[in-house]
A = this chain, B = another copy of it.
Amino acid sequence: MNSESAKSRLPLWVGPALFLLTTGVVVLLGLLAFSITERRWETQRPAIAIQPIAEWEPDNAAWGANYPREYERYLLTRDDTTRTMFGGSFPRDYLEDDPRQVLLFAGYPFSKEYRQARGHYHSVTDVTQTKRISAKNMSSCWTCKSTDVPKRMAEMGVAEFYATPFSEFVGKITHPIGCQDCHDPKTMNLRITRPALREAFAAMGKDIDQATHQEMRSLVCAQCHVEYYFKDGSYVTLPWAGGLGVEQIIAYYDALSFTDWTHAISKTSIIKSQHPDYELYSAGIHAYGGVACADCHMPYRTEGGVKFTDHHVQSPLLNIANSCAVCHRWGEEEIRSRVEAIQTKVANAKLAAEDVLVRAHFDIAAAMQAGATDEELAAARKLVRHAQYRWDFVSSHNGVGFHAPQECTRILGDSAREAQEARLLVARLLAAKGISAEPKYPDLSTRDRAVEVKNAFESGQPTNLL
């Protein structure tokens, strides 16, 4: 071995050693990176066993013990925070803000109290305190208000539950809307616990058990956020056999000659619409794109390393970053202003429809005061029945038309046109009785004035309109 070659060459072991060292460092770096992105320790649950949850367990806290994050967020539905874009009262009192509605519901409990619904947490409190519930009501009105309901139904039978007086369960049904309404306690899979939706699917020739998980993320909401009526006085039924559109639903009710109440001013047979949220959502672009209710109202949330569904159910506009902005890469204010522009158009069309609808009721009343018979008024009343249902279909649904902007605007346009047609028929009827002047429409500028007028009609001492 000469000294020159010894200088220019490293010992044989250096190459393999460097290689092994590098390999080792890379492996360790990889493990570090994995541990950082996995955030494994942050996602560790304490080493306690998941407690089994009983079938039909109504107590949300019992579920919360196993699912503390979901439960903690659910409890935030206690919060009354909501949006106030249209000004007016807070929390919103619709009769205070819009006295027309006192008249539109004349003869019906909604004319006494109509407030913006609070979060799910308050469902039992609110249903027992509203002026809309009276001794006449059956337990149908409990159906969507408590996790106690499925258990009661299982024990006593569905029809029997519905037909029990509402008052019988006051103090016995105590747990607000919660976990059990949507989840299977063993698997946590979403499941349908309310018979009406299952029966409505069957009536359409569909099997709800074939729904995909993504569909279920809307359908569990659709157990309650739908239009319904009480068949045979108490059996909660969705009028979907002909389809979910407002025209199909009107045809369904007309075929049954169904009536919720006779209007105190125009003596029209009115159908009350109940928040057809799922129906209108189904007509909109988000449903078309496969976006579920939960995607916007219960978006995913991350705490530490855990991604979970946010059970603080609320308006997406109170949580734009996690809901809208996940797909729509605009600024929050841009999103808000777009939504509010859409809602403002619907809100204005709604008020325009109300203005002519209120007058249509008064016009018919004026004709009655002029001696018009029920037979003479039948065509006008039928138009008002349909016009009011169309209006209420949009008015009673949540979201001020955002779920289906074109559809809601279309429905309100049809409502106003029909109400106007009724007024035209009545004008000709009055003309035949020698009356050409416009009826003397009462002042409805405040709720108090509107209530006075309503009371006068309800008590059979109506204001003279001629």
Please list the residues of chain A having a beta carbon within 8 angstroms of any beta carbon in chain B. Answer: 1-2, 5, 8-9, 12, 285, 288, 338, 342, 345-346, 349, 352, 356, 405-407, 409-410, 412-414, 416-417, 420-421, 423-424, 427-432, 435-438
Instruction: Give min CB distance, A125 to chain B, whole Å.
Output: 37
Contacts of A346 in B (CB 8 A): 406
Given contacts A412-B413, A430-B431, A431-B436, A342 and B406 within 8 Å (CB-CB): yes
Q: How far is the CA of A416 from the CA of B285 in the complex (A)?
A: 26
Contacts of A412 in B (CB 8 A): 413
Contacts of A342 in B (CB 8 A): 406
Each complex incorporates copies of this chain amounting to 2
A417 & B414 in contact (Cβ 8 Å cutoff): no
A1 & B5 in contact (Cβ 8 Å cutoff): yes
Instruction: Give min CB distance, A131 to chain B, whole Å.
Output: 33
B12 & A8 in contact (Cβ 8 Å cutoff): yes
Contacts of A356 in B (CB 8 A): 417, 421
> Which residue in B5, B409, B435 is a CB contact (below 8 Å) of A431?
B435
B436 & A428 in contact (Cβ 8 Å cutoff): yes
> Which residue in B2, B413, B429, B431 is a CB contact (below 8 Å) of A349?
B413
Instruction: Give min CB distance, A263 to chain B, whole Å.
Output: 20
List 19 other contacts, CB 8 Å, given A352-B413, A420-B420, A424-B424.
A1-B2, A8-B12, A349-B413, A349-B414, A356-B421, A405-B406, A406-B409, A409-B413, A413-B414, A413-B416, A416-B416, A416-B417, A417-B420, A420-B424, A427-B431, A428-B431, A428-B436, A431-B431, A431-B436
Binding site secondary structure of chain A: helix
Instruction: Give min CB distance, A58 to chain B, whole Å.
Output: 42
Instruction: Give min CB distance, A65 to chain B, whole Å.
Output: 43
A414 & B352 in contact (Cβ 8 Å cutoff): yes
Instruction: Give min CB distance, A320 to chain B, whole Å.
Output: 16
Instruction: Give min CB distance, A182 to chain B, whole Å.
Output: 29
Contacts of A430 in B (CB 8 A): 431
Contacts of A2 in B (CB 8 A): 1
Instruction: Give min CB distance, A257 to chain B, whole Å.
Output: 26
Closest to A427 in B: B427
Q: How far is the CA of A288 from the CA of B334 in the complex (A)?
A: 9
Contacts of A345 in B (CB 8 A): 406-407, 410
Q: How far is the CA of A414 from the CA of B436 in the complex (A)?
A: 25
Contacts of A437 in B (CB 8 A): 428
Closest to A437 in B: B428
> Which residue in B8, B405, B438 is a CB contact (below 8 Å) of A428?
B438
A432 & B436 in contact (Cβ 8 Å cutoff): yes
Instruction: Give min CB distance, A433 to chain B, whole Å.
Output: 8
Contacts of A9 in B (CB 8 A): 9
A288 & B420 in contact (Cβ 8 Å cutoff): no
Q: How far is the CA of A405 from the CA of B401 in the complex (A)?
A: 13
Instruction: Give min CB distance, A80 to chain B, whole Å.
Output: 30
Instruction: Give min CB distance, A281 to chain B, whole Å.
Output: 15
Instruction: Give min CB distance, A343 to chain B, whole Å.
Output: 10
Can you offer 25 A-B residue contacts whose CB atoms are under 8 A? A1-B2, A5-B5, A9-B9, A285-B338, A288-B338, A342-B406, A345-B406, A345-B407, A345-B410, A349-B410, A352-B414, A405-B405, A413-B413, A413-B417, A417-B417, A420-B420, A420-B423, A424-B424, A427-B427, A427-B428, A428-B436, A428-B437, A430-B431, A431-B431, A431-B435
Q: How far is the CA of A431 from the CA of B427 in the complex (A)?
A: 8
Q: How far is the CA of A45 from the CA of B461 in the complex (A)?
A: 90
Q: How far is the CA of A421 from the CA of B421 in the complex (A)?
A: 9
Contacts of A406 in B (CB 8 A): 342, 345-346, 405-406, 409
Instruction: Give min CB distance, A186 to chain B, whole Å.
Output: 37
A-B pairs with lowest CB-CB distance, top 9: A413-B413, A431-B431, A420-B420, A431-B436, A432-B436, A427-B427, A405-B406, A416-B417, A409-B409
